[in-house]
A and B are shown apart, each in its own frame.
Chain A
Amino acid sequence: MSVGYVPVQWNRQKRIYDAIVVGSVLGYLCLWVLCGKLIWRGAESISDEILILRGLGSCAFLLLTVILLIGPVARLDRRFLPLLYNRRHLGVLTCLIACAHGILAIGYYHGFGVDNPLFSLFVNSAGYRSFAGINFELFGAGALVILITLASTSHDFWLRNLSPRIWKRLHMLVYVAYGLLIAHVGLGALQTDRNWAFVFTVLVSVLSVSAAHVAAAMKEASVDQGTHAHDGWIDAGLEKDIPMNRARTVCASGGERIAIFRHADGLAAVTNVCAHQGGPLSEGRIIDGCITCPWHGWQYKTDGCSPPPFQERVATYQVRVVAGRVQVSSQPSRPQTAQSRSATHG
């Protein structure tokens, strides 16, 4: 949270996060190049440019796989939330590595010839006779354009100015980029070489991302199916079953998820969607009297407003307890209206 814009709001954990990520990436690239040079030596050595090109490409693919895994895995096991906290830096690094791969590929494969390298990208790789022969480089170029767009707009400045809804939709393009990247790898590198380890890596990556998303979706679907509205009120179960300073989620008829928090002063219901990046508030907790988002620690008082000097707001819902059971209104209230424990105990 911030009241102004700075390039990076550094803190100790972001520095540690970035140091681990950069160190891991450098280690990956060094291992890749060293191993490639040790396996094929002398007359059978692989060109340095191609070795680096392959290392950068595989590294970018793995990083994007990890980025896409972090979200659902953190939903399934919140011990992985520290990986999510600085995911944007991971995305920017992925973009930089993909750019290095792209520049090297265009320069090496398309440079030094009779055509402009960018023109060559569209003309000299062309093979449209069959799906297998299709120009795989254009898929990679498309993925790179998306990654550059996402990295360029990853700062909170764009989040605020584009609006969280549009920003979120824009950044969902990362799934399109991943799809394009799979096509790029599958129709390119995997068709050229029989590298069983890389084939296995790509398969495991794609299956892992798919399985994690399905598992997270099933977990959410189970929450959505268990809630029913009567006369505009949704039953949210027994009050005592909501852990102190934690939340339970219910789903309104329109699909809007509502997080009902139990705290020292009673109950508070807010939308499940954080105003920052749409993080699931119900998976957060109350700290210092504020609902705290699990993704980046954005905070809201129980009236839906961020504590001063911050000005973010989220929608709140009326909540009441009837015969020990919590009920929440299916329609949002206006922000800034405190919705604490109702006096309608049965």
Chain B
Amino acid sequence: MDDSSSFYVGYLPVPRPLIRFLWLALPLLVGAAWMVALLAAGSQPSPGNGIWHDADVQHYRGRVVLWPYPILLPTDHPERGYLLVESGKHGAQRDWPALVGHEVEATGRPLERDKALMIELDPGEAGLSVVASAPQGTLPAATGEEIRTLRGEIVDSKCFLGAMKPGHGKTHKACATLCIKGGIPPLFISKTRDGYDYWLICGADGKPLPESLWPLIADPLEIKGRIESMGGVRRILVAPTDIRPL
């Protein structure tokens, strides 16, 4: 387009042939960008069906167990155990050994995904207070001795159950590491045809996930361990030697 009337200088009036061209080119360019927005935003995969009822404060009564992470077994539904955490990226910071077996009242905001449940406790005593000071009866025993090999990744339970959606994958690695560092119970999640299956993950001795395994959070892994369940919560006990990065 060498016509002298088409030469563009920013501080001079735009030549008429160029105006015609720009009226065609600019809508095409902007339209293409907006099409990318529609297609790429529309192609995002499902973040899962976890829900965080962050505006819905609930009260629960039940007994506390450490398995090895704190879990509340409700008095009316002891088969529906709730993992307990604090606000932010912090696990529940309480004097757990002194609370185990006692009947307590927990106040906080529930999170749920499929059958997994969690309570984000209110701060301080408002979040958890002892109702009956003596241990109440015997705690349920863990069942199941199945050894399984699983493929998946380690995530933090709070984000995965609905605090952050999606709450898994490489882009979530830093957040998951911070959460688990802060005491949020870790989960091992394994992809299924319909979504994910998941277990609390802890050391082979039943203690919390060893710090040495934190660098593996969010990495694709194959693990082999013993699966147990208690109060509707499942966990897998894994020795570091039975974890293989994929």
Contacts and interface: CB of A to CB of B under 8 A. Distances in A.
A98 to B, nearest CB: 16
A191 B170 contact: yes
B96 interface: no
A68 to B, nearest CB: 14
Contact of B44 (A43, A108, A195, A243): A195
Contact of B9 (A47, A115, A124, A297): A297
Given A13-B11, A201-B40, A120 B166 contact: no
Given A44-B46, A82-B22, A124-B177, A246 B2 contact: yes
Interface string B1-44: 11010111111101000100110011001100110111111111
Interface stretch (B99-107, B137-145, B178-186): B178-186
B173 to A, nearest CB: 6
B36 A109 contact: no
B43 A198 contact: yes
A50 B165 contact: yes
Interface in A1-26: 11, 13-14, 20, 24
Nearest to A85: B10
Interface in A63-113: 66, 77-82, 85-86, 108-110, 112-113
Contacts of A120: 174, 178
A44 B49 contact: yes
Contact of A47 (B34, B47, B90, B215): B47
Contact of B7 (A51, A201, A285): A285
A154 interface: no
Nearest to A9: B11
A109 B25 contact: no
Contacts of B173: 124-125, 127
A85 to B, nearest CB: 4
Contacts of B228: none
Contact of B10 (A20, A45, A198, A297): A297
Interface residues of B, number: 58
Contacts of B177: 124-125
B51 interface: yes
B11 A11 contact: yes
B89 interface: yes
Interface string A118-148: 0011001111010001001100000000000
A39 interface: yes
B182 A114 contact: yes
- A interface, size bucket: 35 or more
Contacts of A126: 215
B8 A36 contact: no
Interface stretch (A27-35, A249-257, A303-311, A329-337): A27-35
A6 B114 CA distance: 60
Contacts of B14: 13, 82
Contacts of B33: 24, 28, 62
Contacts of A108: 164, 175
Given A47-B47, A54-B41, A82-B22, 6 more contacts: A13-B14, A24-B34, A28-B36, A50-B166, A59-B37, A195-B40
Interface of A: 11, 13-14, 20, 24, 27-29, 31-33, 35-36, 39-40, 43-47, 50-51, 54-55, 58-59, 62, 66, 77-82, 85-86, 108-110, 112-115, 120-121, 124-127, 129, 133, 136-137, 187-189, 191-198, 201, 243, 245-246, 284-285, 287, 292, 294, 296-297
9 contacts: A31-B34, A54-B44, A108-B164, A192-B172, A193-B45, A197-B36, A198-B40, A294-B7, A294-B8
